[in-house]
Structure 1
Amino acid sequence: MSTPPAADRRRALRLALASCLTLCLAACDSGAKPEESAPSRGGWPRTLDSVKGKLTLDAMPQRIVSTSVTLTGTLLAIHAPVVASGASAANSKVTDEQGFFTQWSEVAKQRGVTPLYQGEPNAEAIIAAQPDLIVMAGTGGDSALKLYEQLSQLAPTLVVNYDDKSWQELATLLGHATGREADARAAIAGFDAEAAAAKARIKLPPQPTAALVYYEDGSGANLWTPQSAQGKLLQSLGFTLATAPDSVKGNTSMGLRHDIIQLSGEKFAAGLRGRSIMLFNADQGQVAQVLANPFLADNPAVRGKQVYAAGLDTFRLDYYSARNLLERLRKQFG
C-alpha cells in the first residue's frame, strides 16, 4: 500500500489534534461548579416584553450593565454576565464601601463587577462600560428611567418593574432575557426548598402581621402590600398580611408603586392593623424604638410586644437577602 502524501498526513495530524483538544475541553467543562449551568445558546434573536414595549435582542448578552442596585442581586444569582452596576450611598447600614448591597457585595467583587456611580444615574459612565444590554428599573429610588431615551439609542435597554414581583418572578424574567434560564430555575428551586423547610419548622406569631419599613424619626412607615416581594415571601411562609384601610392610605412616592402604602402623620397609628409587626430594614434597636413610640401605645402588636426585626438587608429582597431573612425567621420563630 502506498504512503499517503505529506499534505494528507499533515491534514490527518491536525484533525487528530483538534479531536484531542475537544476532548480535553469537554473534560475541563465537566468540573464546572454545580450551581452554575450552561447558558442557553439557542433561541436568538428573541423578543422580550419591556415596560417600554417590545425589545429584540439579536444575541445572548455578554456585557450587562444594571442601573438598578435592586436588580443587580437577582442578576448575580442567575450568573448573568454583569460587568457594572449602579450603586447606592457607600458605607451605609445596608451597603459596602462601593455602595453595593452587603448581601451580595462579596459575590460582585469576586466576579469583578464595577460600580458606575453612587445615587444619581450617570449616562456617560453607563455607556463607557460598553454594555450590550442595559437593565433598568421602572420604579423605585434606583430607577434611571429619565435616561431611557438617551441610553436606548446606544444599547438595548430592558426596563423592569420590581414593585409587583417576587425575586423569583424577576429571576425568571431576567433569566429569559439573558439566556440564563437554567440558572434561574436552579436558584428558585433551591430557595423554594429552603422556604418549605423553614415553613415546616416555624411557629408563626399572632396573625395578621403588619410588615413595614419604619421611618427613623418615628413619624410613619411604608407598609408592604401583598404584591411586594416582602409580602409575597411572608405569605408563602403562612403569614397573613395586615392591610391598611382605604381611609388612611397615603400617597405613593417615586411614581405609581404597587409594593408600598405610605402611612404618616395622623394616619400612621390608624393604618397599622394586625396582632404582630415585622420590621424590614431594621435590627433589634428599632424594635425598642417602635415599642417606645407613644403614638403606637394602643396598637395591639405593641401592647403585646409582638414586634420583630427582619434584618437590615431586607429593604430590597433578592436571592441573597431572602435567604438571610429565612434564617432569621427560623431563629426567631423556630
Structure 2
Amino acid sequence: MLQKTAQTFLSLCLIAVCSLLSACNDKAENDQHTDLRTQLKIDEVHKEASGWPRTLMTSKGPVTLDKPPKRIVSTSISITGTLLAIGAPLVGTGATIPNTNISDDDGFFTQWGELARSRGVKSLYQTEHNAEAVIQANPDLIIISATGGDSALKLYDQLKDIAPTAVINYGDKSWMELAQELGNFIGLESNASSLVNEFDKQIEQFKANALLPPQPTTAVVYYQDGTGANIWTPESAQGQLLTKLGFSLATIPDSVRGDISMGKRNDIVIASGERFPDAITGNTLLLFAAEPPQESVVKENTYLAETSPVRLNSIYAVGNDTFRLDYYSSSNLIKRLTKLFAKDDR
C-alpha cells in the first residue's frame, strides 16, 4: 500500500513538473514574441510562421492584428487611395472639402472616388475629424496618418480603445512603399506586390519612350497668390517617383529652409517671399496640383523672371490630382508626362 502511494505521489510530481516546464516554455515563447515585436523598427512588420498574428511598429508603439481585418476605417484621405489599390476591406474614410478641383461630391479624391463608391466606402466626415463617426463605422482596424492636414492624431487616445489603431507616416515614403507596408500588415502582401510590379512596368515604359526636358528639375506646389511654393524634396513621394522616372531633382539651398509653419516635415520645403526665387534652382519647373493654364501665370510672375525655367520656357503643369500620390494619381501623372515628353512629339 505504501509502495502504491509513493508511486502515485511520484506520478503527480512528474505531472506537476511537466506542467511547470510547459508553462515556462509557453511564457518563454510569449516573451520571445513580445521581444521581437518591441524590437521592430518603425514601419516594420513581424508575422508569425503561420501568418498571424502580425505586428506593425508605429511611432505610437506596436499594433498587433490576430487575424485579417474585415472593416478598416482610414482617417487619412491620402492613405485611402493606396488601401483601395491593394483591395483592402475599407468601409469608411475621412474626406476633404467636396466639389473642388481635386474632390467630388463626397469629398473623395477624383482619381478614385468612383471606385470607392462602387465598393461601398462611406465618407465619414469632411475635413473636421469626427471620432463618433469612426466609432459608428464599427472598425476592426483604424488607420491614422502621422503628418499632414488629414492627420487625426488628436483622436488617437480616443480611438485606440475602440480598435487596433495604426499611426502611419506617408510623407516619408512612396505610395509603393506604403502599399507594401500596408499589405504586409493586413495580409494583402500578394496584392501589393502585384500592384507595384505592374506600376514598375509603367515606369520602364515611360523611360524607354520619353525625352526629358532640361535637367535638373524643381517640383513644386505653387501658391495661388504667387508669393511662394512648397518644394518637393527627394524624400517626398513626388520626388521619389520623379527620380524613378529619370528626372534629376535640383538641390534646394539651405538658405531657403527653416520655415516649419506646417510642422517639421521631410517631404516639403516651404519657400516664400524673398526666398522663393532662390528655391527655383532647376532648369525645369514641374507644377504639381495644377493644370496647364497655371503655366502662363507662373511665367508672368515677376519674382521668377530671372529663374532658369522661365528663361528656358520649361514650365509644365502635371495635374490637379498630383497633390497626394497614390496608385491612381501616379498612373495619371505618368500618362501626362508621357504626353508632354514623348520622343516622337519633340
TM-score range (shorter-chain normalised) is 0.7 to 0.9
User: Which amino acid counterpart does residue 182 of structure 1 have in structure 2?
Assistant: S
Change in Cα spacing, 1:171 to 1:88, as seen in structure 2 (3 Å) is: same
Equivalent in 54, 68, 84 of residue 76 of structure 1: 84
1:56 to partner: Cα distance: 1.0
1:154 is aligned to: 162
Partner of 1:58: 66
- Amino acid aligned to 1:308: Y
Q: 1 CA distance for matches of 2:258 and 2:321?
A: 25
Q: How do 1:310-321 residues align onto structure 2 when only pairs under 5 Å count?
A: 310-321=318-329
Residues 42 and 66 of structure 1: is their aligned pair in 2 closer, same or farther, counting only changes over 3 Å? farther
Equivalent residue in structure 1 for 2:231, among 206, 223, 226? 223
Report whether the alignment pairs 1:120 with 2:128.
yes
State how far apart, in whole Å, the 2-side matches of 1:148 and 1:100 are.
23
Supply the AA of the counterpart residue of 1:290: V
Instruction: Map residues 79-228 of structure 1 onto 2, 5 A cutoff.
Output: 79-228=87-236
Tell me by how many angstroms 1:42 deviates: 4.9
Q: How does 1:157-306 map to 2 (within 5 A)?
A: 157-306=165-314
- Conservation of the 8 A alpha-carbon contact between 1:89 and 1:95: yes
Q: Which moved more, 1:252-261 or 1:300-309?
A: 252-261
Corresponding residue for residue 44 of structure 1: 52
SS in 2 for 1:74: helix
Q: CA deviation at 1:255?
A: 2.5
Pick which of 43-52 and 245-254 moved more. 245-254
Given that residues 250 and 264 in structure 1 are in contact (C-alpha distance below 8 angstroms), is that contact kept between their aligned partners in structure 2? no
Distance 1:333 1:160, change over 3 A: same
Contact persistence 1:139–1:254 (CA under 8 A): no
CA deviations on 1:44-82 (whole Å, 9 max, x unpaired) are 111111121111111110000000000000000000000
Q: Report the alpha carbon displacement of residue 254 of structure 1 after superposing the two structures with TM.
A: 3.5
Provide the residue aligned with 1:27 in structure 2: none
After superposing the two structures, state which structure 1 stretch, 243-252 or 165-174, moved more: 243-252
The answer to whether the Cα contact below 8 Å between 1:84 and 1:129 also exists between their aligned partners in 2 is yes
- Structure 1 distance, partners of 2:249, 2:261, is 21
Structure 1 segment 20-39 matched on structure 2, within 5 A:
none
Unaligned runs of 5+ in 2: 1-48
Residue 310 of structure 1 deviates from its aligned partner by 1.0
The Cα of 1:225 is off from its aligned counterpart by 0.1
The answer to whether the 8 Å contact 1:225/1:261 transfers is yes
TM-score under structure 1 length normalisation? 0.87
Q: How far apart, in 2, do the equivalents of 1:212 and 1:117 lie?
A: 29
Report how far residue 112 of structure 1 moved.
0.5
SS in 2 for 1:235: helix
Hey, what does 2:16 align to over in structure 1?
none
Q: What stretches of structure 1 of length at least 5 have no aligned partner?
A: 1-40
Segment of structure 1 superposing worse, 76-85 or 239-248: 239-248
Cα distance in 1 between the residues matched to 2:257 and 2:150? 24
- d(CA) in 1 for partners of 2:247 and 2:320? 20
- RMSD across aligned C-alpha pairs, in angstroms? 1.3
In the TM superposition, residue 243 of structure 1 has moved relative to its aligned partner by 2.4
Structure 1 runs, 4 residues or longer, greater than 3 Å off: none
- Alpha-carbon separation, structure 2, partners of 1:319 and 1:100: 15
Aligned positions, number = 295
Please give the alpha-carbon distance, in whole angstroms, between the structure 1 residues aligned to 2:262 and 2:218.
Answer: 22
- Contact 1:68 1:137 (8 Å CA) reproduced: yes
Kindly name which structure, 1 or 2, has the bigger radius of gyration based on alpha carbons.
2
